[in-house]
């Protein structure tokens, strides 16, 4: 469990990082918090001839709140995001997802952007990004661009980032009104990758009707998923009339979950139903009663 | 009940903790020897195949590589290997440190790369190309038995590793013929592993001039390590020095050096340079030894009141390719222990052990424990068939104080066990009857709650080579005490408990004792720390040596004080005339007289203030316990939550109750891991799937319930009254949990007989 040889680069700016990536092409990998990449390299399951460490780019560590969105620098460590008052007040779903990430040691090193760029389909931050329709900001040799979360995650461990691009920030929209947010996931042990999980945001309108709802699923496919059919069915329904289990079934209906030693696809779907129902119930409860 | 002494019976804080908890422990990977090389193994990625060739050229050419050794280079000159406990003629897998002409499991070491750093060693290992022609894997134990075409060890002619034939009796046949009820069920236990926090490892150094070998090893038994090096290398044992520093757990895995360790020792002699091998976690899970994969069919005959009248047992064990020790079978011990805490008048126990192309079985805390796992689940199953509460069924069959002494159907003689008392204490502590009421009420609300019990009797193993241990107690010139022992404490707190025993019996202050172990050059021979034997054998030696030294100190003091020895008393490291505190001579004063002022001593006064004693224990000393668990099962996710966990334990006179409870807790966690989390999975082609901690799930502190303890103290007949208890926590916890889970699932008509009882497995049973 010792990594194969590699060259280590530590750029001080995003521009320098982009130049280094461009220079080495496919032979280069970006290192953020290293909580996934480093163990994979130690097992020699991942290799890089050139490792480009973003750890010293201080400009990528920030949380900035605006009226309708919150920007989080990609190298903000998860633990810092988890205790940030702006995130807690304006993007509660993100704040509530972070404690589910690994253990505190992992959250102290792992970054918000690193989790997205790694694109593990059972990861929490990508699921929150997809659920809230966040935009991911990338810088390459061309102009910086904003990528909608739905288009960012393309497959397991794969994103739409170009080889010379660095993920620099996430922009989370703020949900106004009588909104509630919840994360529910099931893992074998506290801190393990989720077998299945759901993140949910909901806004109640007139007559306790569901004005707006977003349900995201993790661990149930190659990318974090949105439960579009379930969202359509729930929207406009009076909260009290909602059959959350039925919504849960709708949420997982079209999923194609992975199979591994911990869970079969069928088992993941079964747990997914329960997690979606439980997350929706909790989010509705918060929207109704604060 | 016995009265606690000044030290024995007290929860004295662990003497080793300041060192270990502040990061000052010295483990084998902390050893650095000038000129030391690092080893890495090239391992088979194929479960079974012919080794057509090993191309080492590119690896040898890599800068920094000192040697790449295959069987052809390493094996010549090596002698047969056997373990002392098993004897020279015990059935065993062929001995070969490296794969030779074929590979027999994924992870089978093919070549040893010796390089100036572990990083480059792994680079070099990648460059070695093994040309393997795959053969069909041998995986299914039942099918492998009759298979003569596909053999794990062709030289043995069969995949049958060992067999214990059934020994029936007319009484047993009669019991089954006249039974009111016969219940038969097969219980399956899955493969899981020791997984010590510190992996295996060693630094070996050969001195060509003196023909001496020094090995620093992560081991549970330095003398056994030495003996095996001596046998394999053909060296006299005194020419070999095995040193253990702090060792981060073993659980059986480090009782005997295995193939990799022997290969490194052989390599260091061949190369004449020191070699370090620190097994990484991936290797430890892949090839460090596995355990527990077996099945047991139990048939129990009972009368209409539920009294057991006879039991038939059949065991089938998967011992992998290269088990350690011997052939990996635990059946002999299992057959002796099976009757456990119950009156079972007639028993037959048959077993077969089968070689497969998987990692070999190694000893794991309570290696024979399938007898308790199957027996205790069978009791619950029988209770369900009888419509009787499992607690009541146990009450009807459990051995009581009135039954003692009791000879079991397998010939074990119990004199001082208390299974009935621990059963009642556990039931009371967990509030058995109240839980039954709560359970019934909650079932109405759809909650699945369950309670499970498991009783066992645990042998302290001190038969044959395990039967004696030695201790040296020396009063040093400054009046302090050196305690030098043949133990190999690696988490069992012997540094504390052995010192407690010596302080108690020698009459010195605990703080005056320094404990030394783990260097074959200086310590008395010891059979290793394992088999729940330390409180019996090692403590026996410590006690005996302390008493002998005390007598010598008293004799010396009597001569100095011109008093009769019988008038003297020893307390707090001083000897004085009883009732005359002013007369007390501190140990330091007496030591000064013996070592330096002996000219002034009267004729005949002893000056040798150093005693070595060996204690010889009876073959078995039995402790016992009852585990009780309550759980809730989430019918949606299959998640099992442990609500409460109670252990009532009788290990005789406790040297240190806190240490006893720590031993129980560690064992219980391993059982929780086994039932709910840990599973060494092979796919249908013989490939291991769980060789990192991402997939091999250990219970962590977050999964640990608060364990509640009850103690019954029935002194054994040994001086000191102790009984061993190191393994029991891991023995009884799996069936206690399995019984609780099945009790929770009972309303659904489900009874699981296979482990692990993972969430997915429970859901699969709920949704056929």
What are the φ/ψ torsions at residue B254 (nearest 5 degrees)? Answer: -105, 20
Among candidate residues B229, B362, B508, B651, the one labeled active-site is B362
User: Using CB atoms, which residue from A2, A193, A271 is nearest to B122?
Assistant: A2
Q: To the nearest whole angstrom, how far is the Cα of B642 from the nearest Cα of chain A?
A: 13
Q: To the nearest whole angstrom, how far is the Cα of A238 from the nearest Cα of chain B?
A: 26
Whether B569 is a known active-site residue: answer no
Sheet holding A69-73, edge to edge: A63-65, A69-73, A166-173, A135-139, A145-148
The percentage of residues in chain A with a pLDDT greater than 70, rounded to a whole number, is 100
Band (A290; pLDDT cuts 50, 70, 90):
confident
Q: Residue B198 pLDDT more than 80?
A: yes
Helical pair B419-430 and B390-397, crossing angle rounded to 10 deg:
160
CA distance B426 to B391: 11
The mean pLDDT value for B583-611 works out to 96
Contact B118 A264 (CB under 8 A): no
Band (A177; pLDDT cuts 50, 70, 90):
very high
Residues of A in contact with B702 (CB under 8 A): 189-191
Torsion of CA B162, B163, B164, B169, to 10 degrees: 180
Q: Residue B155 pLDDT more than 90?
A: yes
Q: What is the pLDDT of residues B332-376, one digit of tens each?
A: 999 999 999 999 999 999 999 999 999 999 999 999 999 999 999
User: Using CB atoms, which residue from B123, B636, B695 is nearest to A261?
Assistant: B695
Q: To the nearest whole angstrom, how far is the Cα of B70 from the nearest Cα of chain A?
A: 22
Contact A188 B119 (CB under 8 A): no
> A58-173 architecture in CATH?
2-Layer Sandwich (3.30)
Q: What is the pLDDT of residues A215-246, one digit of tens each?
A: 999 999 999 999 999 999 999 999 999 999 99
Q: Domain coordinates of chain B in residue numbers?
A: 31-135+197-249+254-287, 294-462+618-766, 464-616
User: Using CB atoms, which residue from A43, A44, A190 is nearest to B702?
Assistant: A190
Q: To the nearest whole angstrom, how far is the Cα of A218 from the nearest Cα of chain B?
A: 16
Domain A7-53: state its class: alpha beta
Whether B283 is a known active-site residue: answer no
Q: What CATH number belongs to B464-616?
A: 3.30.365.10
Distance of CA B26 to the CA centre of its chain: 22
Length of chain A: 290
Band (B685; pLDDT cuts 50, 70, 90):
very high
**Contact by Cβ (8 Å): B208, B272:** yes
Helical pair A265-289 and B759-766, crossing angle rounded to 10 deg:
100
Residues of B in contact with A281 (CB under 8 A): none
CA distance B399 to B419: 6
Residues of A in contact with B126 (CB under 8 A): 4, 44
- Check the CA dihedral B112-B114-B118-B120 and report its sign: negative
Chain mean pLDDT for chain B: 97
Contact B637 A1 (CB under 8 A): no
The mean pLDDT value for B86-97 works out to 95
Residues 6 or more apart whose CB falls under 8 angstroms from that of B642 comprise: B629, B630, B631, B672, B705, B737
Sheet holding B347-355, edge to edge: B160-164, B347-355, B308-320, B294-302, B181-189
Pick the residue of B633, B637, B701 with the most A CBs within 10 A to test the interface with A by mutation. B637
**Contact by Cβ (8 Å): A27, A165:** no
- pLDDT score at B5: 86
Q: Is A270 on the interface with B (CB under 8 A)?
A: yes
Q: Is the ipTM of this complex over 0.90?
A: yes
Q: What is the pLDDT of residues B312-321, one digit of tens each?
A: 999 999 999 9
Q: Residue A2 pLDDT more than 50?
A: yes
Return the H-helix or E-strand segment holding B762.
helix B759-766
Contact A188 B123 (CB under 8 A): no
Q: What is the pLDDT of residues B695-720, one digit of tens each?
A: 999 999 999 999 999 999 999 999 99
Q: Which residue of B has its CA nearest to A192?
A: B694
Q: To the nearest whole angstrom, how far is the Cα of A105 from the nearest Cα of chain B?
A: 15
Pick the residue of A261, A269, A273 with the most B CBs within 10 A to test the interface with B by mutation. A261
CA distance from start to end of chain A: 49
Q: Which residue of A has its CA nearest to B763?
A: A267
Q: Is A143 on the interface with B (CB under 8 A)?
A: no
CA distance B465 to B670: 28
User: Cis peptide before B325, with omega less than 30 degrees from 0?
Assistant: yes
Question: Under the phi-then-psi rule, with left for phi > 0, alpha for psi from -120 to 50, and beta for the rest, what region is B236?
Answer: beta
Whether B362 is a known active-site residue: answer yes
Q: Residue A83 pLDDT more than 50?
A: yes
Q: Which residue of B has its CA nearest to A190?
A: B702
Residues of A in contact with B675 (CB under 8 A): none
Q: Is A267 on the interface with B (CB under 8 A)?
A: yes
Contact B758 A264 (CB under 8 A): no
Six-digit token pair at B189?
């236990």
| Superfamily, domain A178-289 | CO dehydrogenase flavoprotein, C-terminal domain (3.30.390.50)
Same fold, B294-462+618-766 and B464-616: yes
Residues of A in contact with B201 (CB under 8 A): none
CA distance B322 to A270: 41
CA distance B200 to B41: 13
Contact A267 B690 (CB under 8 A): no
- Count Cβ atoms below 10 Å from residue A49 Cβ, excluding itself: 14
Residues paired with B627 in a beta bridge:
B454, B647
Among candidate residues B226, B312, B361, B552, the one labeled active-site is B361
Q: Which residue of B has its CA nearest to A196?
A: B637
**Contact by Cβ (8 Å): A184, A198:** yes
- pLDDT score at B3: 52
Same fold, A58-173 and A178-289: no
Tokens 């949105």 label which residue?
A: A226
Q: Residue B43 pLDDT more than 50?
A: yes
Domain B31-135+197-249+254-287: state its class: alpha beta
The mean pLDDT value for A53-79 works out to 97
Q: What is the pLDDT of residues A41-58, one digit of tens each?
A: 999 999 999 999 999 999
User: Using CB atoms, which residue from B119, B764, B767 is nearest to A2?
Assistant: B119
Q: Which residue of A has its CA nearest to B118?
A: A2
Residues of A in contact with B277 (CB under 8 A): none
Q: Residue A106 pLDDT more than 80?
A: yes
> B294-462+618-766 architecture in CATH?
2-Layer Sandwich (3.30)
**Contact by Cβ (8 Å): B376, B185:** no
CA distance B351 to A189: 36
Q: What is the pLDDT of residues A120-140, one digit of tens each?
A: 999 999 999 999 999 999 999
- From chain A residues 1-20, the ones with a CB under 8 A of any chain B CB are 1-5
Residues of A in contact with B281 (CB under 8 A): 1
Six-digit token pair at B421?
């008392």
Q: What is the pLDDT of residues B253-299, one digit of tens each?
A: 999 999 999 999 999 999 999 999 999 999 999 999 999 999 999 99
Name the 3-class secondary structure at A173: strand
Q: Residue A288 pLDDT more than 90?
A: yes
Q: Residue A98 pLDDT more than 50?
A: yes
Q: To the nearest whole angstrom, how far is the Cα of A172 from the nearest Cα of chain B?
A: 31
**Contact by Cβ (8 Å): B339, B374:** no
The mean pLDDT value for A261-278 works out to 96
Q: Domain coordinates of chain A in residue numbers?
A: 7-53, 58-173, 178-289
What are the φ/ψ torsions at residue A267 (nearest 5 degrees)? Answer: -65, -40
Residues of A in contact with B700 (CB under 8 A): 189-191
- pLDDT score at B1: 41
- pLDDT score at A85: 98
Residues of B in contact with A3 (CB under 8 A): 119
Contact A44 B689 (CB under 8 A): no
CA distances from B376 to A109, B401, B709 (A): 46, 21, 20
User: Cis peptide before B756, with omega less than 30 degrees from 0?
Assistant: yes
Residues of A in contact with B276 (CB under 8 A): none
**Contact by Cβ (8 Å): B343, B379:** no
Q: What is the pLDDT of residues B383-425, one digit of tens each?
A: 999 999 999 999 999 999 999 999 999 999 999 999 999 999 9
Strands of B36-124, DSSP E: 37-43, 49-55, 65-70, 102-103, 109-115
User: In B, what residues contact A, Cβ < 8 A?
Assistant: 118-119, 122-123, 126, 280-282, 636-639, 677, 679, 681, 689-690, 692, 694-695, 697, 699-700, 702-703, 758-760, 763-764, 767
CA distances from B641 to B6, B311, B373, B451, B672 (A): 41, 33, 20, 12, 11
- pLDDT score at B147: 87
Among candidate residues B260, B371, B649, B727, the one labeled active-site is B727
Six-digit token pair at A35?
């909580």
């Amino acid at each position: 469990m010792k990594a194969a040889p590699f060259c280590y680069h530590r750029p001080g700016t995003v521009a320098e990082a982009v130049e280094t990536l461009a220079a080495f092409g496919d032979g280069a990998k970006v290192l953020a918090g290293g909580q996934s990449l480093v163990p994979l390299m130690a097992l020699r399951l991942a290799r890089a001839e050139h490792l480009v460490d973003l750890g010293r780019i201080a400009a990528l560590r920030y949380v900035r709140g605006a009226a309708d969105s919150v920007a989080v620098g990609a190298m903000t460590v998860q633990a810092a995001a988890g205790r940030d008052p702006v995130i807690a007040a304006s993007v509660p779903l993100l704040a509530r997802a972070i404690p589910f990430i690994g253990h505190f040691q992992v959250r102290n090193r792992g970054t918000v952007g690193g989790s997205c760029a790694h694109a593990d389909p059972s990861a929490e931050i990508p699921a929150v990004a997809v659920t809230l329709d966040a935009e991911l900001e990338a810088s390459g040799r061309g102009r910086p661009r904003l990528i909608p979360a739905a288009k960012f995650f393309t497959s397991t461990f794969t994103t739409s980032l170009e080889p010379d691009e660095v993920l620099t920030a996430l922009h989370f929209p703020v949900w106004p009104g009588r909104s509630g947010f919840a994360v529910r996931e099931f893992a074998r042990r506290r801190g393990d990758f989720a077998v299945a999980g759901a993140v949910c945001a909901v806004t109640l309108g007139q007559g306790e009707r569901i004005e707006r709802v977003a349900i995201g699923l993790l661990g149930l496919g190659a990318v974090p998923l949105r439960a579009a059919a379930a969202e359509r069915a729930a929207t406009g329904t009076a909260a009290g009339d909602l059959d959350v289990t039925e919504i849960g079934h709708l949420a997982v209906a079209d999923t194609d979950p992975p199979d591994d030693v911990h869970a079969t696809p069928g088992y993941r779907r079964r747990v997914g139903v329960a997690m979606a129902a439980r997350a929706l119930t909790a989010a509705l409860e918060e929207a109704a009663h604060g | 009940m016995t009265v606690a002494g000044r030290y024995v019976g007290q929860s004295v804080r662990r003497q080793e903790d300041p060192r270990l908890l502040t990061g000052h422990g010295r483990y084998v990977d902390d050893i650095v020897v000038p000129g030391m090389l690092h080893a890495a193994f090239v391992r088979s990625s194929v479960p079974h195949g012919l080794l057509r060739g090993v191309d080492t050229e590119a690896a040898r050419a890599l800068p920094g590589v000192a040697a790449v050794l295959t069987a052809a280079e390493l094996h010549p000159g090596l002698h047969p290997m056997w373990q002392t406990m098993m004897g020279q003629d015990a059935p065993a897998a062929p001995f070969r440190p490296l794969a030779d002409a074929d590979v027999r499991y994924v992870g089978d070491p093919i070549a040893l790369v010796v390089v100036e750093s572990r990083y480059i060693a792994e680079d070099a290992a990648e460059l070695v190309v093994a040309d393997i022609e795959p053969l069909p894997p041998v995986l299914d134990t039942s099918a492998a038995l009759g298979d003569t075409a596909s053999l794990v060890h062709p030289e043995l002619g069969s995949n049958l590793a060992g067999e214990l034939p059934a020994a029936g009796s007319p009484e047993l046949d009669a019991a089954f013929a006249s039974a009111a009820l016969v219940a038969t069920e097969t219980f399956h236990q899955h493969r899981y592993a020791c997984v010590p926090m510190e992996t295996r490892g060693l630094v070996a150094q050969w001195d060509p001039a003196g023909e001496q070998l020094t090995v620093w090893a992560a081991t549970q038994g330095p003398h056994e390590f030495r003996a095996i090096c001596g046998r394999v290398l053909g060296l006299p044992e005194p020419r070999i020095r095995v040193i253990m520093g702090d060792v981060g757990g073993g659980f059986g895995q480090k009782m005997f050096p295995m193939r990799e360790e022997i290969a490194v020792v052989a390599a260091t002699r061949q190369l004449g340079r020191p070699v370090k091998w620190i097994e990484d976690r991936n290797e430890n899970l892949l090839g460090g030894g596995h355990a527990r994969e077996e099945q047991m069919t139990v048939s129990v005959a009972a009368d209409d009141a539920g009294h057991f009248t006879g039991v038939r047992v059949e065991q089938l064990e998967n011992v992998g390719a290269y088990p350690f020790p011997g052939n990996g079978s635990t059946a002999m011990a299992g057959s002796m222990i099976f009757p456990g805490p119950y009156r079972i008048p007639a028993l037959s126990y048959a077993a077969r052990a089968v070689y497969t192309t998987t990692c070999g079985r190694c000893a794991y805390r309570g290696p024979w424990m399938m007898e308790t796992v199957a027996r205790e689940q069978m009791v619950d199953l029988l209770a369900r068939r009888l419509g009787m509460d499992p607690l009541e069924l146990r009450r009807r069959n459990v051995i009581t104080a009135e039954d003692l002494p009791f000879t079991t159907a397998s010939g074990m003689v119990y004199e001082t066990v208390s299974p009935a008392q621990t059963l009642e204490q556990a039931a009371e502590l967990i509030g058995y009857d109240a839980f039954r009421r709560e359970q019934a009420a909650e079932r109405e609300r759809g909650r699945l709650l369950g309670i499970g019990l498991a009783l066992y009797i645990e042998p302290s193993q001190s038969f044959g080579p395990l039967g004696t241990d030695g201790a040296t107690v020396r009063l040093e010139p400054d009046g302090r005490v050196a305690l030098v022992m043949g133990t190999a404490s690696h988490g069992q707190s012997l540094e504390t408990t052995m010192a407690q025993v010596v302080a108690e019996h020698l009459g010195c202050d605990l703080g005056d004792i320094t404990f030394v172990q783990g260097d074959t050059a200086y310590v008395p021979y010891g059979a290793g720390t394992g088999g729940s034997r330390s409180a019996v054998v090692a403590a026996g030696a410590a006690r005996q040596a302390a008493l002998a030294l005390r007598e010598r100190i008293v004799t010396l003091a009597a001569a100095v004080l011109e008093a009769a020895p019988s008038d003297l008393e020893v307390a707090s490291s001083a000897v004085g005339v009883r009732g005359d505190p002013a007369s007390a001579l501190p140990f330091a004063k007496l030591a000064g007289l013996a070592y330096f002022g002996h000219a002034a001593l009267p004729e005949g006064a002893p000056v040798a203030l150093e005693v070595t004693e060996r204690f010889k224990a009876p073959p078995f000393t039995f402790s016992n316990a009852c585990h009780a668990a309550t759980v809730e099962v989430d019918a949606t996710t299959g998640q099992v939550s442990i609500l409460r966990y109670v252990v009532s334990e009788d290990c005789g006179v406790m040297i240190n109750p806190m240490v006893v409870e720590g031993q129980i807790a560690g064992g219980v966690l391993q059982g929780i891991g086994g039932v709910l989390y840990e599973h060494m999975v092979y796919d249908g082609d013989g490939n291991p799937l769980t060789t990192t901690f991402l997939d091999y799930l250990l219970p962590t502190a977050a999964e640990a319930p608060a364990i509640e303890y009850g103690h019954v103290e029935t002194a054994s007949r040994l001086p000191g009254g102790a009984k061993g208890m190191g393994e029991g926590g891991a023995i009884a916890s799996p069936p206690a949990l399995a019984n609780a889970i099945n009790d929770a699932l009972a309303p659904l008509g489900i009874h699981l007989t296979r482990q692990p009882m993972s969430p997915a497995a429970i859901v699969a049973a709920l949704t056929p």
